[in-house]
Structure 1
Amino acid sequence: MATAINRADHDAIVPAVDEKPNVDHMEHYDADGKEVDDVITKSPFEDLPWKKTWRVFWKAAAMCIFASFSAAADGFQISMTSNIVANKGFIQTYGTAIDAKTGGPKLDADILAAWGGIQSAGQGVGMLTQHFIADRFGRKVAFYTLWVSLVIAVALESFGRDWRSWLCAKLFSGFGVGSVQFMTGMYMTELAPAKIRGFLLIFYSAW
């Protein structure tokens, strides 16, 4: 059952539409109680020198450096496909065509193209879909998703004995690499203090 309320009580409980609190400014008064110019509130850490910022936020900086190391894994996964195809043991295991000169197995050109193409496709899918997972379930779940995809990729690369298993591995590794490229920079940007953020982001490119 609705309870009647008078106008005075209503105005006391519900502020007017144009009476919005000013969260960007703070009123200051002098010794006589007179109001002085408003000043914009800000974090006390914004004026720290960059050397002191390193000392105060060394844990955050260390986490950013560790996270940036993932770029080295990106390069490994991307370059591995183009390098390992010359390995004799790899050719012996995954070769499906016959070399006319030696009579031994060799890698089929169509399969090589499929490996490279599906890795790029997985990379694009990872970059385009991970933000949906991060928005819906949170950043931590998104990181676990890319971690699982890379674990599956490494397992297939290590224990697979058929070109189809390597094809699946390239799909999962591409998804993981694309996810890392999308997630890591954003994670480091949110974690790093503003004074040293640019320097820390360079580490990703360096790796």
Structure 2
Amino acid sequence: MATLSLAAILAENARRRPSKTALVEGGLRLTFGEVWRSALAQAGALTGLGVRPGDHVALMAPNTAEFPHAYYAIAAAGGVVVPVHLLLSAPEVEHVLKDSGATLLLCHPAQEATGAAAARALGVRVVTLGAEFEKLAADAEPLTSYVTRDADDPAVVFYTSGTTGVPKGAVLSHFNLVMNATVNAFDANDIRPDD
């Protein structure tokens, strides 16, 4: 069986163009190398929290710099990312956590009240993105590389909106997501290094 990781997308860009801008948020500009080092440090923190390959880690955060850092940290640690929609109520978040089998919720401070209430009801640990997660990452031994997974292993579980019933998780594999990124970058859009 072939091995692969969604984290390879960021790792390869960090290897090939470490000083190129990867992430922009307002005045914040981070390079591929900086984002990858941060992801490896956070992956070390996740490993220290007991996250093992195949564990589902929920991520409840807006479209801020914290999201891709945590997303790639989960992937680098070999975990399965479970994005949690920000408009869900606590009982709806609870359903996603329970249904996915998430063992940890990484939650942005703006969503902490809702996320923590849902996680507490299930006994799921919550780590707040920002100062708390950064402290754990600073104290942890960073991973030296990403954990490889079988290409067909789950990488992400996206939940449907549930407008016609209970939300259901759609499982996407490492191979599916890496191929999607590759086709998007090189076939559909002809992305070049300066884009």
Greater per-residue strand proportion? 2
Say which structure is richer in helix.
Answer: 1
Common fold: TM-score over 0.5: no
Q: Tell me the TM-score normalised to structure 2 length.
A: 0.28
